Amino acid sequence: MDSREKELLKKIGEQAVRQLWREAFGGKAHGSRHLYRVNRIAMYLWEREGGDEFLILATAWVHDVSLAQGDDSDPAKVEAFTMGFLRKFEALSEAESRMIAQCAGAHETGGEDLPLEARIVHDADVLDKSGMLGVVRHIWKMTHMLKGRVLYTEKDLDELRDHLTEREGKLFSKTARNLGKILNEPRKLFFGDRTFAVKTMTWISNLDQQGVICEKVAEMLLKKSSHPSLVLLKDQLSCDFLSSFNNQEGETPK
């Protein structure tokens, strides 16, 4: 990357984090580390899958800016909102803005004919919604946005499991699919223990409604329980699962 791109990434990252903290979920996600993790994961995927590094990392920073307007399920609305957000960065060309906004628009839904850069950010976002961190994070989204209430029923649990399973089924790259498999193995133990799962989902959802951010909830869960499903949760928070995966594959970390 050249110095213009490095400088732009720094500014885009700062503004995107600020916007997510201030405006998404009515300001309740203040302190969230999601964008930092998606950047780490996207960088890891870029090293193995290729693509344009600058476009990938810029998209990783801005992929959730449209949460400031609420629901992020409509790709066209996400793309238009992201385009508006990018206009403030004068050093960014029109073509770069369009490409980043298009990639951001596709981050939730994915799609076969997308550019490699869009597929990588999509996969990085799905990986941060994988494993038990994904469970904690989607309970947050259901509590604050999709249901707008504390989750407590068996049906809520089924919806939670079905959404996570659906997203994981759409991973594009081989590296992401392998990582997803490792992260989601312990999650089966969570959904397989329904009594524990419903109780834990309600406990998490209650904390979410009180405005406790996902990272804090995950740390509290690790202190409260030694359920086997939680084995990788700490490594997901720090992204250390990436280096463990490196070692398993016999790779040398870059």
Measured from the CB atom, is 59 or 97 closer to Fe ion? Answer: 59
Q: How many chain residues touch Fe ion (CB under 5 A)? A: 2
Query: What's the closest the beta carbon of residue 34 comes to Fe ion, in angstroms?
Result: 6
Measured from the CB atom, is 65 or 157 closer to Fe ion? Answer: 65
Measured from the CB atom, is 39 or 229 closer to Fe ion? Answer: 39
Give one word for 36, left, alpha or beta, with left for phi > 0 and alpha for psi -120 to 50. Answer: alpha
Measured from the CB atom, is 96 or 125 closer to Fe ion? Answer: 125
- The span of 58-66, 91-99, 146-154, 227-235 binding Fe ion (CB under 5 A) equals 58-66
Dist. CA 47–CA 40, nearest whole Å: 11
Measured from the CB atom, is 52 or 64 closer to Fe ion? Answer: 64
Q: Which of residues 62-101 bind Fe ion (CB under 5 A)?
A: 64
What backbone torsions phi and psi does residue 28 show, to the nearest 5 degrees? -75, -15
Q: Residue 208 interacts with Fe ion (CB under 5 A)?
A: no
- The span of 14-22, 95-103, 119-127, 235-243 binding Fe ion (CB under 5 A) equals 119-127
- The span of 79-87, 123-131, 159-167, 204-212 binding Fe ion (CB under 5 A) equals 123-131
Measured from the CB atom, is 125 or 168 closer to Fe ion? Answer: 125
* Cβ atoms of residues 117 and 57 within 8 Å: no
Q: What are the CA-CA distances from residue 45 to residues 1, 13, 119, 192, 242 (Å)?
A: 17, 19, 10, 30, 10
Q: What angle do CA 28, 69, 13 make, to 5 degrees?
A: 70
38: Cα separation from own chain's centroid: 6
Dist. CA 171–CA 158, nearest whole Å: 21
Dist. CA 76–CA 78, nearest whole Å: 5
Query: What's the closest the beta carbon of residue 21 comes to Fe ion, in angstroms?
Result: 14
Measured from the CB atom, is 39 or 203 closer to Fe ion? Answer: 39
Query: What's the closest the beta carbon of residue 63 comes to Fe ion, in angstroms?
Result: 5
* Cβ atoms of residues 63 and 107 within 8 Å: yes
Among 52, 117, 125, 156, binds Fe ion (CB under 5 A): 125
Nearest to 89 by CA among 201, 32, 1, 12: 12
Say which DSSP state 70 is in: S
Q: What residues make contact with Fe ion under the rule CB under 5 A?
A: 64, 125
